[in-house]
Every structure is written in structure tokens, then in C-alpha cells.
């Protein structure tokens, strides 16, 4: 089982790395928001959703949201818009994942592989959050239970800080941990086989 000192070292590294990345948001936030919007639009074009869904820049009065999802609803020809924060959708989960992977005491090669695989997965997760709304909004009729359910989905999945924290931890476990790590954390060591 890891010692208290190694757990403390992991926690300090994680907080420093995550804190540094979070502090860099004012500098790299616009570039990240642009990257997220453009990769989302490329995805929508690839799956044929560009005609009814787009991601565009947005400036909210409070400065929190910087992206708008615009979706045309074929049933009535109107458009539905929802504003989101690219920080919450993608940058915060990405920063947390980077902090977790870099702070993990594993070999450099394993850490680099985990970082690459984790970044691909966390970006796919961010795009999935956006794409799900673009896919569902056109098929949901207004003033129905499903329209309310879509609103709840936006609140509890797309705009959820808890989801933005929980999913990167799952991705970190998936790309970084191995069976022997689980044994080590549990405090058990494999038994030697004697002939």
C-alpha cells in the first residue's frame, strides 16, 4: 500500500499542475474554445448534422459562457440555442486529467501513453457532450416531457461540474492503472510460486 508520504506527494503535484493549468485559462482559453468549437463543427459535418446544428462563439454578459450550440428543429423550423462554457465542457476535465496522469508515480513511457490516450478520450467526452444535444434537440417536440428531459440533460450532463470532475477520474483510472497497481493499492502482494 502506498505510504502517506507518496499519497501527499501525489496530491501536491496534482494540485500544483491543475492549479497552473487552471490559472492559464485567461491566456489559452480563447484558443481552446476555438479548438473545441471547430472540432465539434468538423464532427457535425462528418455525420451530416451540419445542416441543423452549429457551434459558434458567444459572449455572455457574465463572461462565463463562450460557446453557443445552435440547432434547427425540423418540426417547426425554429432554432434552439443553448450557451455553454468551453472551460466547463472541456478545459477543466482536460486540466484535471493532465494533473492526475502527470502526478501518478509510474514510468515516463507509461505516463506519456496514458497522457496521449487520456487526452483523446477526454476530448471525445467533451465532443460527446456537445454532440448529444445537437443530435437530440431536433427530434424533441416542444412542450412535451422529452423537452423537459432535454432541459434536465443540459443541466445535469452538459453543464454539470460534477460530471466534469468525475469522468476525467474514470479516464485516468482506465488509461493509467494496471492490475498490479490495484494489488499494490490494496496492500496485497502476489504470492511466489515455489517448485
Comparing 12 with 132, the larger pLDDT belongs to 12
Rg (CA), the chain: 20
82, β-bridge pairs:
69
DSSP of 121-175: HHHHHHHHHHHHHHHHGGGSPTTSHHHHHHHHHIIIIIS-HHHHHHHHHHHHHHH
- Of 8-17, 78-87, 181-190, where does the model show the most confidence? 8-17
Identify the pLDDT of residue 2.
Answer: 65
HSE-CB of 48 using CA atoms within 13 angstroms:
0
pLDDT at 133: 75
pTM score, whole prediction: 0.81
- The position carrying cell 498490479 is 180
Residue 53 to residue 71: CA distance in whole angstroms: 4
CA angle 123, 128, 133 (to 5 degrees): 140
C-alpha cell at 107: 514510468
pLDDT per residue over 43-54, tens digit each? 887 766 656 678
The two most distant CA atoms of the chain are separated, in Å, by 76
User: 4-23 and 25-46 helices cross at what angle (nearest 10)?
Assistant: 80
The pLDDT tens digits for 72-131 are: 766 666 777 788 889 999 999 999 999 999 999 888 999 999 999 999 999 999 998 888
Amino acid at each position: 500500500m502506498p505510504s502517506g508520504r507518496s499519497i501527499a506527494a501525489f496530491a501536491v503535484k496534482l494540485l500544483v499542475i491543475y492549479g497552473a493549468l487552471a490559472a492559464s485559462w485567461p491566456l489559452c482559453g480563447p484558443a481552446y474554445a476555438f479548438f473545441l468549437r471547430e472540432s465539434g463543427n468538423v464532427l457535425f459535418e462528418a455525420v451530416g448534422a451540419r445542416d441543423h446544428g452549429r457551434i459558434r462563439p458567444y459572449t455572455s454578459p457574465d463572461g462565463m459562457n463562450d460557446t453557443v450550440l445552435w440547432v434547427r428543429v425540423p418540426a417547426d423550423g425554429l432554432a434552439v440555442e443553448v450557451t455553454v462554457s468551453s472551460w466547463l465542457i472541456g478545459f477543466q476535465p482536460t486540466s484535471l486529467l493532465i494533473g492526475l496522469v502527470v502526478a501518478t508515480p509510474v514510468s515516463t513511457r507509461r505516463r506519456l501513453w496514458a497522457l496521449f490516450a487520456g487526452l483523446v478520450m477526454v476530448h471525445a467526452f467533451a465532443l460527446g457532450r456537445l454532440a448529444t444535444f445537437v443530435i437530440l434537440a431536433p427530434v424533441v417536440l416542444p412542450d412535451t416531457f422529452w423537452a423537459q428531459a432535454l432541459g434536465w440533460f443540459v443541466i445535469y450532463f452538459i453543464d454539470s461540474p460534477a460530471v466534469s470532475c468525475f469522468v476525467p477520474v474514470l479516464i485516468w483510472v482506465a488509461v493509467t492503472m494496471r492490475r498490479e497497481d490495484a494489488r499494490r493499492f490494496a496492500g496485497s502482494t502476489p504470492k511466489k510460486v515455489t517448485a
